Amino acid sequence: MENEPLIDDALKSELAALYRAADRHYHGLAHIEAMLALAAEYRRLLHDPEAVEAAIWFHDAIYDSRAKDNEAKSADLAEKKLAGRVDPPRLARIAAMINATATHQLPPSRDENALNDAALLLDMDLAILGAEPAVFDAYEKAVRLEYGWVEEPMWRAGRAAVLKSFLARPHIFYTSGFRQRFETRARTNLQRSLAALEG
């Protein structure tokens, strides 16, 4: 059981189909592939790289911009699809990482290794915030398209609140490596975006 990949080709195809849905402008396959590339780059820092990869594959599997429980439903899907492939404690860690992407707060755990992996997963998920300005702007436009049903004044207020919540944190990124690489540019991008929303 341990030697088989957690996410085999059949499961990849099944999940990729979800990420290819027409309403996925940002939360699609390109986002998953970008996170998987970061996971490969930082693999030596991960305690359980396969579990992190599984969490990446599942974390936005269920995505409805009108819903508030996407992450919980994505974690449920992971538990259903991975049952029998992975032991229960490991599956619980995968589900906890997926659920953590709802608030981008570390999951409650005393396990240092699990917390380390969750921190890296959350940082990978937010790496887009520290992208080059043009890439960040494309991301912002794509997220706006996913919320196309929200009227502009409501969008501006809601999105501004989200950006302010990130800017209010002592650090946007949990790990030193991601802070050094992305923190400064992420704050610049967020402040620029916030100014445009409130302008």
Structural domains of the chain in order of their starting residue, each with its CATH number = 9-198 (1.10.1300.10)
Give the pair of three-digit tokens for residue 85: 């492939």
List the pLDDT tens digit at each of the 199 positions of the chain.
Answer: 445 679 999 999 999 999 999 999 999 999 999 999 999 999 999 999 999 999 999 999 999 999 999 999 999 999 999 999 999 999 999 999 999 999 999 998 899 999 999 999 999 999 999 999 999 999 999 999 999 999 999 999 999 999 999 999 999 999 999 999 999 999 999 999 999 999 8
pTM for this one? Answer: 0.95
